[in-house]
A and B are shown apart, each in its own frame.
Chain A
């Protein structure tokens, strides 16, 4: 096996010294000369007709430079999936949720812009609104979008194998439901952006986004501009988790204001607006029936899910498909059916969030595995091992596991948590539970239908030969992708990490679909590797000419040229190099030819040494409708064990410990892999234990701040033991695949299974508030009394 010099280490991240010292620039840290400040007018009503808009009082206010509404902005529809563009930047004649955008103002100061917004007069005719799936699908319910009768945004019906037969042949059949609540991304940096429009008609948008590429295309389409005249860049981004993975109306409004005023315009969401805009995890209601044989063999899975979608589609089409497709694994399962429904209502749209579509489905299903195990008297861990897919297996819905260290993950958490000693031997009130999960390493297809490359990368050597510059349009949003690509470039070139500089997040640097679906390490990583190898080859080709040695007889490692066999006389090259560097202090004196010398000579022979790389997945998936969603060139997988304490008198749950093993293929940066695992777990714990966006009966978010919307703090985060399981993914660069989302999959069901182990109760609704758990315990006690 090849040994590596740069990857698979714990190298310090290249961006963190700047982040630790306050030097890292985020969008709101930027101030430009003459910059204006923008503000949005958003609907106070959940559902209303707009009868008239009068902006005259706003325009009169001194300092106001522009006011725009749908009248000027036009009615170009946009959204996430082209098949379902159902939004306009500003409401045309109807608002559909509290927060729907109606107008935008740019002024010399933010307080003036806000004052101007308050002076815009809108006459509404308030319409009846619906806020739940149940109400929205009733006969006679208010309709949100004329084209989608019954408020049905999307429905999916799939069957693989023969589920009826599978269930008939099962010895045990279990049906349960699972309900979750709407989440919020709760990234600490609110969305913000700055748009500039220059004298040559080029629009530059600097934004806190995960997806510069998609934002660029959306801006170009909505503003009617050439893609080449729109540049989108992201500075450092305070995370996104999926919510920042599409163009938002503020970005589009900001671009319009900048084009109109010819001045830079800055806009920010307040925390309240982050909640109002939504686009985070849907509220799911699953009903799953699973059948198994007495020996534990899984036979069939029947799945129905209703998704509370909110007012627009956003990522919803992909979500409703992912919800079904990602139950196809990680267990061998021949028969699976899925009926999914996404329903519109008058709340902010839901979208994608870490573990897109699949988290609650897994929470439901993995509980059932434990129930089956209990019924047949099998250790739940053994049941999982018995049914586990192996490397090379394909699910019934055509997802291929080209590498799959799932069994190794299970063994790792078994040992890491001392499972065998603890399971079945915990004192009353304490419990242990486990679950598994898997996730894509990048969506197999882009969001818009296209043959586009998913990532392109440029690597260029500086003329002195000392440094490799990597240019990628990918998005570092906190996950560590810049460092991963710098490491991949260094490894592929054969030079130390400190000799790589990297710039990213700018559509001028190429095409990259961005940070979503855990795609960048594999996809951008491939393109980076190819570009670096291209550069490496060019340098070696020049050396081959100069030294009369075949390219294949040379290698570059740690910044030195290594020769297969005898080292040829390279003194002429060294003399030439030193002459070029007269007066410099760092002339080479090693007995090995340095990469620096070689690449300077290459520059002298060929001019700038530039290599490009690109990546797109091979054709993936089956032929059925929706087959594309869930496909990926590779899948990461995890197993987790949770240990909990349940206070039987109050229903209070404490999570004592989580042990997590994740197969990420080859770990590019071990520390970053662990960081993704730990972060995923904290988000899973938040969703399991307390997160819930709560609305009043008018569709307004009640807990639109980080005090009342409770994410995990230092006080409730348990210690986590992370175990990185490495496999060799044939479709990944150096064998690497995802970790950013797969690691969240088992967290909630592992906790639920541990709660059952501790308290004897199953809870089918999240979050696990003390009241909910207490009631479950009460019922359980009643039941036991009754049967006693």
Chain B
């Protein structure tokens, strides 16, 4: 039995009928076509599917779409504006914090959440803040640098 749910993603209202077992990640990616959200495991271990749900980062592969009824969601597609890249996105580009880029959307959203709540994190807080996001390519150095360069 599909259930009708409503949500706001990146300031746009959606009304969709979803199967009760569909994950939020699958809904966002395959039904709504917002494929910037990645899936690296589907078991909550990698953080590639991170989105901001009602102000908090979640692994969207662990959230059922129906649980997100009436939620306000932010995905990577919502970050850049008409003026260009979000400062964090720009910093990731400029510092070379992106290699294959598969972890990047989740990484940037976790970093954004961190900076939204703590605009001047220490190195330890940065490490902690993105510790749920795995990156196999970069060794994290340039990710730290990118985040450090945007803290106030």
Contact = CB atoms under 8 A, between A and B. Distances in A.
Do A and B make up one complex? yes
A28 B102 CA distance: 11
A17 B136 CA distance: 19
Interface in A15-71: 15-26, 28-29, 31
A192 B76 CA distance: 22
Interface in A431-488: 477-480
Interface stretch (B1-9, B63-71, B85-93): B85-93
Contact of B136 (A21, A188, A714, A715): A188
A237 B135 CA distance: 14
B36 to A, nearest CB: 2
A194 to B, nearest CB: 14
B122 interface: no
B1 to A, nearest CB: 15
A22 B37 contact: yes
Given A188-B46, A188-B135, A705-B43, A22 B35 contact: yes
B92 A16 contact: yes
B136 A16 contact: no
Given A23-B36, A28-B39, A188-B134, A720 B141 contact: yes
A142 interface: no
Interface in B99-152: 99-105, 108, 126-128, 130-131, 133-144
A715 B100 contact: no
A20 B143 CA distance: 12
Contact of A239 (B96, B126, B136, B142): B136
A774 B128 CA distance: 27
Interface residues of B, number: 56
Contact of B140 (A18, A22, A717): A717
A747 to B, nearest CB: 10
Contacts of A237: 100
B100 A671 contact: no
A20 B89 contact: yes
A577 interface: no
Nearest to A190: B40
A714 B140 contact: yes
Interface class of chain A by DSSP: loop
Contacts of A705: 41, 43, 45
Interface in A620-636: none
Given A188-B102, A671-B96, A713-B134, A22 B36 contact: yes
Nearest to B135: A188
A188 B85 contact: no
A59 B133 CA distance: 41
A239 B45 contact: no
A573 interface: no
Contacts of B103: 188
A671 B39 CA distance: 27
Contact of B102 (A13, A15, A17, A189): A189
A320 B65 CA distance: 49
Interface string B29-60: 11001111111111111101000000000000
Contacts of B105: 22
B15 interface: no
B23 interface: no
A682 B76 CA distance: 26
Contacts of B30: 31
A21 B41 contact: no
A26 B38 contact: yes
A681 interface: yes
A73 interface: no
B85 A717 contact: no
Contacts of B18: none
Contacts of B127: 714-715
A117 to B, nearest CB: 17
A17 B77 CA distance: 12
B93 A13 contact: yes
A680 B136 CA distance: 9
Nearest to A480: B99
Contacts of A719: 141
A706 interface: yes
A696 B135 CA distance: 28
A786 interface: no
B136 A19 contact: no
A587 to B, nearest CB: 28
Nearest to A29: B35
A13, A20, A679: which has the most chain B beta carbons within 10 Å?
A: A20
A681 B139 contact: yes
A271 interface: yes
Contacts of B98: 13, 16, 19-20
A696 to B, nearest CB: 19
A190 B41 CA distance: 8
Contact of A188 (B36, B48, B130): B48
Given A241-B136, A678-B138, A25 B35 contact: yes
A189 B100 contact: yes
Contacts of B95: 671
A115 B134 CA distance: 32
A716 to B, nearest CB: 9
Nearest to B127: A714
Contact of A679 (B46, B134, B137): B137
A715 B128 contact: yes
Contacts of A75: none
A172 B38 CA distance: 55
Given A25-B35, A26-B38, A20 B134 contact: no
Interface string A229-264: 000000011110100000000000000000000000
A270 B46 CA distance: 13
B96 to A, nearest CB: 4
Nearest to A187: B136
Interface in A655-699: 671-672, 674-675, 678-683
B79 interface: yes
Nearest to A678: B139
A477 B144 CA distance: 22
Contacts of A190: 40
A273 to B, nearest CB: 11
A383 to B, nearest CB: 28
Contacts of B140: 678, 682, 712, 714, 717
A788 interface: no
Interface string A67-108: 000000000000000000000000000000000000000000
A148 B128 CA distance: 51
Nearest to B126: A714
B66 to A, nearest CB: 17
A415 interface: no
Given A238-B101, A671-B96, 8 more contacts: A20-B98, A20-B101, A20-B108, A188-B102, A241-B136, A478-B101, A681-B139, A706-B45
Interface of A: 10, 12-13, 15-26, 28-29, 31, 185-190, 236-239, 241, 270-271, 477-480, 671-672, 674-675, 678-683, 705-707, 711-715, 717, 719-720, 722
Interface of B: 29-30, 33-46, 48, 75-77, 79-80, 85, 89-90, 92-96, 98-105, 108, 126-128, 130-131, 133-144
21 contacts: A16-B101, A19-B101, A20-B89, A20-B98, A21-B76, A22-B37, A22-B105, A23-B36, A28-B39, A188-B48, A189-B40, A271-B45, A478-B137, A672-B96, A675-B137, A679-B136, A679-B138, A706-B40, A714-B133, A717-B141, A720-B141
The 7 tightest CB contacts between A and B, nearest first, are: A22-B36, A478-B100, A19-B101, A238-B102, A682-B139, A678-B139, A29-B35
